[in-house]
Structure 1
Amino acid sequence: MPLTGHCLCKAVTYKVDVDAPLVTGYDHCDDCQRQTGSTYSLVAVVPKDKLTINGPVKTWTGTAASGNKVDRLFCSECGSPIAHDPSAAPEIIALKAGTLDTEIKKNLKPDTEIWTAGKLPFCQEHLAKPFKFMPE
C-alpha cells in the first residue's frame, strides 16, 4: 500500500510508491524547529524517485547548519510544510510526517533522531539511534 498524504487545505497531495518509510525520526535542527513552529519535525524519509506530488508547491532553498543546501517544499495556498529535500542526500526526501494520511501516521514508529545537537533541553525522547548531526 503506498504512502499518501496532503497539506492542510488539500490543494497539495502526494503519493509514495513504498509500503513504509526508510526511516522515521525526529529532526531537531533549528531550521526544522522554525519551519514547523515546534520543538522538532517528525519526518518520514522516503526514496525521492518514488514520490509524486500534485498541486501548488513552492520551494524555498536555504543553507543548513551543515553548509549544504536544503530545499523546503510547502503548499503555496495554506503554507503547510510538505517535505525537505537535502542536497547532501539526493536519493531521499524527508516528508513532514504530520501530512501523511491519518491512518498511515497513526502507525508510524519513530526509530531515530537527527541533529540532536539542536535538541531542546526539555525534549525527553530517547531513541536507540540518535545522531548528533546527520547520520554518521
Structure 2
Amino acid sequence: MPLTGHCLCKAVTYTVKGTEEPLLTAYDHCDDCQRQSGSTYSLVAVVLKDKLEVNGPVKKWKGTADSGNAVWRWFCEECGSPIAHDPDAAPEIIALKGGSLSTEIKKTLKPDTEIWTKSKLPFCQEHLAKPFEGMPQ
C-alpha cells in the first residue's frame, strides 16, 4: 500500500506512488519545525519528491535554512495544517509531516533518526515520568 495522507480538513490529500515506507523517519528538532508544528519537534517522513502526488489547495511559504538555502513549508490553505517541508538544498527529497500521514500508516512509523539535535529542547532529553493514556482527569 502506498503512503497516503491528508490535512485536518481533508482538502489536501497526497499519495507517494510506489512507496510503502519512507526513506527515513526522523524527529526534526530545528527551531523552524518547532514553530511550524507548534510543538517541541516535528516528526518527518522523508520520501522522493518525484513520487509525491498532491491534490488540493496547498500554499507554500519560503523560509531560509541556516545554510542560506530556501526551505519551502507546505500547508493547507484552508485549515493551515502543515503538510511538508521541501529543502532546496536536497531537491530530490521532501519531508512529509508525520502527523499528516493516514492514521494506519502513522501507527507503523518507526523513527530511526534525530536531526537538528543542537536545537533539541533540554526537557526532551529524557522520557517524562507521568505518562497519561489520554487527557488527565
Is the pair's TM-score, using the shorter chain for normalization, greater than 0.5?
yes
Separation of aligned partners in 1, 2:98 and 2:6: 10
2:45 is aligned with 1:37: no
1:67 Cα offset (Å): 1.7
2:16 is aligned with 1:16: yes
- RMSD, aligned CA: 1.2
Question: Which structure has the larger Rg over C-alpha atoms?
Answer: 2
TM-score when normalising by structure 2: 0.89
Question: Aligned ranges for residues 113-128 of structure 1 at < 5 Å?
Answer: 113-124=114-125
Amino acid at match of 1:98: G
Secondary structure class of the residue paired with 1:35: helix
C-alpha distance 84-125 of structure 1, shift in aligned 2 (>3 A):
farther
Amino acid at match of 1:110: P
Separation of aligned partners in 2, 1:12 and 1:55: 4
Amino acid at match of 2:100: T
1:61 maps to what in 2? 62
Structure 1 unaligned residues grouped into runs of 5+: 127-136
Secondary structure class of the residue paired with 1:122: helix
* Identity between Structure 1 and Structure 2 (%): 80
1:65 Cα offset (Å): 2.0
1:92 maps to what in 2? 93
Amino acid at match of 1:32: C
Structure 2 unaligned residues grouped into runs of 5+: 128-137
